[in-house]
Protein backbone atom coordinates (compact mmCIF):
# COMPACT_ATOMS: atom_id res chain seq x y z
CA UNK A 1 0.00 0.00 0.00
CA UNK A 2 1.14 3.56 -0.66
CA UNK A 3 1.83 5.75 2.31
CA UNK A 4 4.24 7.68 4.46
CA UNK A 5 6.65 5.94 6.79
CA UNK A 6 8.28 7.74 9.68
CA UNK A 7 11.05 6.22 11.73
CA UNK A 8 11.90 5.67 14.44
CA UNK A 9 8.63 5.77 16.37
CA UNK A 10 10.46 6.84 19.55
CA UNK A 11 13.77 8.70 19.75
CA UNK A 12 15.85 9.97 22.63
CA UNK A 13 18.35 12.80 22.41
CA UNK A 14 21.23 13.58 24.70
CA UNK A 15 22.32 17.13 25.45
CA UNK A 16 24.38 18.62 22.62
CA UNK A 17 23.43 15.86 20.20
CA UNK A 18 21.94 16.16 16.73
CA UNK A 19 19.32 13.57 15.80
CA UNK A 20 17.72 12.81 12.44
CA UNK A 21 14.12 11.77 11.89
CA UNK A 22 13.33 9.81 8.76
CA UNK A 23 10.35 10.35 6.47
CA UNK A 24 9.79 8.27 3.32
CA UNK A 25 6.79 8.30 0.98
CA UNK A 26 5.86 6.09 -1.96
CA UNK A 27 2.89 8.18 -3.08
CA UNK A 28 4.89 9.96 -5.78
CA UNK A 29 4.00 13.28 -4.15
CA UNK A 30 6.05 16.37 -4.96
CA UNK A 31 5.54 18.25 -1.72
CA UNK A 32 6.58 17.17 1.76
CA UNK A 33 6.19 18.83 5.15
CA UNK A 34 7.42 18.59 8.73
CA UNK A 35 5.24 19.62 11.66
CA UNK A 36 5.82 19.76 15.38
CA UNK A 37 2.98 18.91 17.78
CA UNK A 38 3.21 19.67 21.49
CA UNK A 39 0.80 18.07 24.03
CA UNK A 40 -2.71 19.42 23.58
CA UNK A 41 -1.58 21.70 20.77
CA UNK A 42 -2.14 21.98 17.08
CA UNK A 43 0.38 21.47 14.29
CA UNK A 44 3.18 23.98 13.73
CA UNK A 45 5.05 23.96 10.43
CA UNK A 46 8.83 23.50 10.66
CA UNK A 47 9.96 23.12 7.03
CA UNK A 48 8.42 22.20 3.71
CA UNK A 49 9.61 21.22 0.28
CA UNK A 50 7.69 21.54 -2.96
CA UNK A 51 10.31 19.95 -5.19
CA UNK A 52 13.57 18.00 -4.98
CA UNK A 53 16.60 20.05 -3.92
CA UNK A 54 14.45 22.92 -2.69
CA UNK A 55 12.85 23.66 0.68
CA UNK A 56 11.49 26.60 2.66
CA UNK A 57 11.34 27.51 6.33
CA UNK A 58 8.04 27.25 8.09
CA UNK A 59 6.93 29.07 11.22
CA UNK A 60 9.36 27.44 13.69
CA UNK A 61 12.47 26.48 11.66
CA UNK A 62 15.09 27.61 14.20
CA UNK A 63 17.11 24.68 15.53
CA UNK A 64 16.05 22.36 12.70
CA UNK A 65 17.47 21.47 9.30
CA UNK A 66 16.22 19.40 6.35
CA UNK A 67 17.36 18.04 3.01
CA UNK A 68 15.46 16.89 -0.07
CA UNK A 69 17.86 14.94 -2.25
CA UNK A 70 15.22 12.46 -3.41
CA UNK A 71 11.53 12.86 -4.13
CA UNK A 72 10.67 10.04 -1.73
CA UNK A 73 12.68 11.24 1.26
CA UNK A 74 12.61 14.35 3.48
CA UNK A 75 14.70 13.81 6.63
CA UNK A 76 14.55 16.28 9.52
CA UNK A 77 17.55 16.95 11.74
CA UNK A 78 16.92 18.32 15.21
CA UNK A 79 20.12 20.13 16.09
CA UNK A 80 21.60 20.94 19.49
CA UNK A 81 20.47 24.53 18.90
CA UNK A 82 16.88 23.41 19.46
CA UNK A 83 16.68 23.82 23.23
CA UNK A 84 13.23 22.34 23.69
CA UNK A 85 13.04 19.42 21.24
CA UNK A 86 10.64 17.22 23.20
CA UNK A 87 7.57 16.87 20.98
CA UNK A 88 5.69 14.68 18.52
CA UNK A 89 7.00 15.20 14.97
CA UNK A 90 4.76 14.60 11.99
CA UNK A 91 5.72 14.32 8.34
CA UNK A 92 3.20 14.86 5.55
CA UNK A 93 3.12 14.80 1.76
CA UNK A 94 0.87 16.31 -0.88
CA UNK A 95 0.11 15.77 -4.55
CA UNK A 96 0.48 19.38 -5.61
CA UNK A 97 -0.20 18.60 -9.24
CA UNK A 98 -3.91 18.25 -8.43
CA UNK A 99 -5.71 21.22 -6.93
CA UNK A 100 -7.26 21.14 -3.47
CA UNK A 101 -5.83 17.88 -2.23
CA UNK A 102 -5.32 16.89 1.41
CA UNK A 103 -1.98 16.31 3.03
CA UNK A 104 -1.23 12.69 3.92
CA UNK A 105 0.44 12.14 7.29
CA UNK A 106 2.78 9.55 8.73
CA UNK A 107 2.31 8.16 12.24
CA UNK A 108 4.91 10.42 13.79
CA UNK A 109 8.11 10.22 15.81
CA UNK A 110 8.08 11.04 19.50
CA UNK A 111 11.32 12.74 20.53
CA UNK A 112 12.38 13.04 24.15
CA UNK A 113 15.45 14.35 25.94
CA UNK A 114 17.52 12.00 28.07
CA UNK B 1 -1.65 36.79 9.77
CA UNK B 2 -3.66 33.81 8.58
CA UNK B 3 -5.48 32.07 11.38
CA UNK B 4 -8.00 29.29 11.97
CA UNK B 5 -9.94 29.26 15.21
CA UNK B 6 -11.67 26.11 16.43
CA UNK B 7 -14.30 25.56 19.14
CA UNK B 8 -14.80 23.89 21.47
CA UNK B 9 -11.38 22.69 22.59
CA UNK B 10 -12.96 19.71 24.38
CA UNK B 11 -16.32 18.05 23.81
CA UNK B 12 -18.00 15.16 25.62
CA UNK B 13 -21.15 13.55 24.27
CA UNK B 14 -23.18 10.48 25.08
CA UNK B 15 -23.00 7.62 22.63
CA UNK B 16 -25.66 8.10 19.97
CA UNK B 17 -25.80 11.88 20.34
CA UNK B 18 -24.50 14.34 17.75
CA UNK B 19 -21.27 16.32 17.96
CA UNK B 20 -20.59 19.65 16.28
CA UNK B 21 -17.19 21.35 15.94
CA UNK B 22 -16.95 24.86 14.53
CA UNK B 23 -14.08 26.66 12.82
CA UNK B 24 -13.52 30.20 11.61
CA UNK B 25 -10.83 31.24 9.14
CA UNK B 26 -9.36 34.67 8.54
CA UNK B 27 -8.13 34.56 4.92
CA UNK B 28 -11.05 35.10 2.56
CA UNK B 29 -8.96 33.62 -0.29
CA UNK B 30 -9.02 30.17 1.38
CA UNK B 31 -10.84 27.69 -0.82
CA UNK B 32 -10.13 24.23 0.57
CA UNK B 33 -11.14 22.98 4.02
CA UNK B 34 -10.11 19.48 5.17
CA UNK B 35 -10.97 17.86 8.49
CA UNK B 36 -8.61 15.41 10.17
CA UNK B 37 -9.05 12.87 12.94
CA UNK B 38 -6.05 12.05 15.12
CA UNK B 39 -6.07 9.04 17.39
CA UNK B 40 -3.61 8.75 20.26
CA UNK B 41 -0.05 8.13 19.06
CA UNK B 42 -1.04 8.32 15.39
CA UNK B 43 -0.83 10.87 12.62
CA UNK B 44 -3.91 12.84 11.52
CA UNK B 45 -6.13 11.09 8.98
CA UNK B 46 -8.43 12.92 6.56
CA UNK B 47 -12.08 12.22 7.29
CA UNK B 48 -13.84 14.69 5.02
CA UNK B 49 -13.07 17.84 3.05
CA UNK B 50 -15.00 20.59 1.31
CA UNK B 51 -14.16 23.04 -1.44
CA UNK B 52 -15.32 26.61 -1.60
CA UNK B 53 -17.77 26.02 -4.42
CA UNK B 54 -19.81 23.65 -2.23
CA UNK B 55 -21.94 24.54 0.79
CA UNK B 56 -22.35 21.10 2.33
CA UNK B 57 -20.93 17.61 1.97
CA UNK B 58 -21.96 14.34 3.65
CA UNK B 59 -20.29 10.99 4.08
CA UNK B 60 -22.40 8.58 6.10
CA UNK B 61 -22.45 9.90 9.70
CA UNK B 62 -20.14 12.83 8.95
CA UNK B 63 -21.07 16.13 7.32
CA UNK B 64 -19.32 19.43 6.79
CA UNK B 65 -20.93 22.79 6.09
CA UNK B 66 -19.27 25.93 4.77
CA UNK B 67 -20.44 29.53 5.00
CA UNK B 68 -18.01 31.55 2.87
CA UNK B 69 -19.63 34.86 3.68
CA UNK B 70 -19.15 34.39 7.39
CA UNK B 71 -15.89 32.45 6.91
CA UNK B 72 -17.22 29.61 9.05
CA UNK B 73 -17.17 25.87 8.51
CA UNK B 74 -18.40 23.10 10.77
CA UNK B 75 -18.08 19.35 11.26
CA UNK B 76 -21.17 17.39 12.26
CA UNK B 77 -20.98 13.80 13.50
CA UNK B 78 -24.30 12.04 14.04
CA UNK B 79 -25.00 8.85 16.01
CA UNK B 80 -21.63 9.09 17.72
CA UNK B 81 -19.82 5.90 18.70
CA UNK B 82 -16.97 5.33 21.20
CA UNK B 83 -14.55 4.88 18.29
CA UNK B 84 -15.26 8.47 17.26
CA UNK B 85 -13.28 9.56 20.36
CA UNK B 86 -10.17 11.37 19.08
CA UNK B 87 -8.77 14.83 18.42
CA UNK B 88 -10.26 16.56 15.39
CA UNK B 89 -8.49 19.31 13.45
CA UNK B 90 -9.96 21.68 10.91
CA UNK B 91 -7.73 23.35 8.35
CA UNK B 92 -7.82 25.89 5.53
CA UNK B 93 -5.65 26.51 2.49
CA UNK B 94 -5.68 28.51 -0.76
CA UNK B 95 -3.81 26.49 -3.37
CA UNK B 96 -2.32 23.03 -3.59
CA UNK B 97 1.17 24.08 -2.52
CA UNK B 98 0.06 26.82 -0.19
CA UNK B 99 0.71 26.49 3.52
CA UNK B 100 -2.15 24.74 5.29
CA UNK B 101 -3.37 26.55 8.40
CA UNK B 102 -4.60 24.15 11.08
CA UNK B 103 -6.96 24.88 13.92
CA UNK B 104 -5.80 24.04 17.47
CA UNK B 105 -7.91 20.88 17.65
CA UNK B 106 -10.96 19.56 19.50
CA UNK B 107 -10.70 16.58 21.81
CA UNK B 108 -13.93 14.59 21.43
CA UNK B 109 -14.92 11.99 24.00
CA UNK B 110 -17.90 9.74 23.33
CA UNK B 111 -19.20 8.22 26.55
CA UNK B 112 -20.68 4.72 26.20
Please say whether the beta carbons of B85 and B67 come within 8 A.
no
Q: Label residue B96 by pLDDT band (50, 70, 90).
A: low
Q: Is the dihedral of CA A89, B83, A2, A49 positive or negative?
A: negative
Please say whether the beta carbons of A27 and A84 come within 8 A.
no
Q: Label residue A1 by pLDDT band (50, 70, 90).
A: low
Q: What is the pLDDT of residues A98-114, one digit of tens each?
A: 777 889 999 999 999 88
- Whether residue B39 is predicted with pLDDT greater than 80 in this model: the reply is yes
In three-state secondary structure terms, A25 is strand
- Compute the half-sphere exposure of residue A21: CA atoms within 13 Å on the CB side of its CA: 33
Instruction: Give the mean model confidence (pLDDT) for residues B23-27.
Output: 96
Whether A19 contacts chain B with CB within 8 A: no
Whether A105 contacts chain B with CB within 8 A: yes
Q: Give me the percent of chain A exceeding a pLDDT of 90.
A: 80
Of B44, B46, B96, the CB nearest to A100: B96
Asked if B103 lies within 8 A of A42 by C-beta distance, the reply is: yes
Q: Label residue A16 by pLDDT band (50, 70, 90).
A: confident
What's chain A's average pLDDT?
A: 93
Of A42, A45, A108, the CB nearest to B105: A42
Amino acid sequence: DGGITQSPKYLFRKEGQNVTLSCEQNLNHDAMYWYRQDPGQGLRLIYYSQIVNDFQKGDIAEGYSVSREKKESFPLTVTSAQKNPTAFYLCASLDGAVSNQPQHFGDGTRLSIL
Amino acid sequence: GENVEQHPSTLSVQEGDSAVIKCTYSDSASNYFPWYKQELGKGPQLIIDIRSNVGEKKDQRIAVTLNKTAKHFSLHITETQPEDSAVYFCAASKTSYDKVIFGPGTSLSVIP
